[in-house]
A = this chain, B = another copy of it.
Amino acid sequence: MYRIGELAKQCEVKADTLRFYEKHGLLSPSMRSDSGYRLYSEQDAERLRFILRAKAVGFTLSEITELLSIDLDKSNWACADVKGMVDIKLANVEEKIAELNHFRVSLQRLSDACCGGPESAEHCSILEALESNVEVKCENHSHDHGETEYKTSCKLKG
């Protein structure tokens, strides 16, 4: 039997988190000491590890609640049900990745367009791109820093 702090340390979470999981029905200690301290069994610890593993692959706590209830009642569920949950999650994650990739490409384009030098930002391509609607398409400045290093040739979007 572990006290809350012991289990927390073992699994690298805060004791608060275990109380939170209890309040939300994910994990209750199977005993209390005479003085009211939570006492977790090895089974409880395993359940916690299940939760943390599911969290590590991206499930939310309410999805994990569902997974736990399936896990405790496996014979009444089909592989299809379980795989369905994973596949929905997978689709969510892929969607999120796609969205972030969109951000990434836009930010990269902005970054590439700016010299990043110590010169005044008065003609900074990044600010100009945000001011106007024009997407940045090439990696040069409108302003001239007096260095040949920065080309001013720019093929704007055809």
Report A's interface with B, CB cutoff 8 A: 46, 49-50, 53-54, 56-58, 67, 70-71, 74-75, 77-84, 86-87, 89-90, 93-94, 96-97, 100-101, 103-104, 106-108, 110-111, 114-122, 124, 126-127, 129-131, 133, 141
A130 touches B97 (CB 8 A): no
Binding site secondary structure of chain A: helix
CB < 8 Å neighbour of A78 from B67, B87, B117: B117
Assembly stoichiometry (copies): 2
Given contacts A57-B103, A90-B107, 20 further A-B contacts (CB under 8 A): A53-B133, A57-B110, A58-B100, A58-B106, A70-B127, A78-B117, A79-B117, A79-B124, A79-B126, A79-B141, A80-B117, A81-B121, A82-B126, A83-B115, A83-B116, A83-B124, A86-B107, A93-B104, A97-B97, A97-B101
Q: Can you list 16 residue pairs at the A/B interface with Cβ under 8 Å?
A: A46-B131, A56-B106, A70-B121, A79-B118, A79-B119, A79-B121, A80-B118, A81-B121, A82-B121, A82-B126, A83-B124, A83-B126, A86-B126, A89-B107, A97-B97, A100-B100
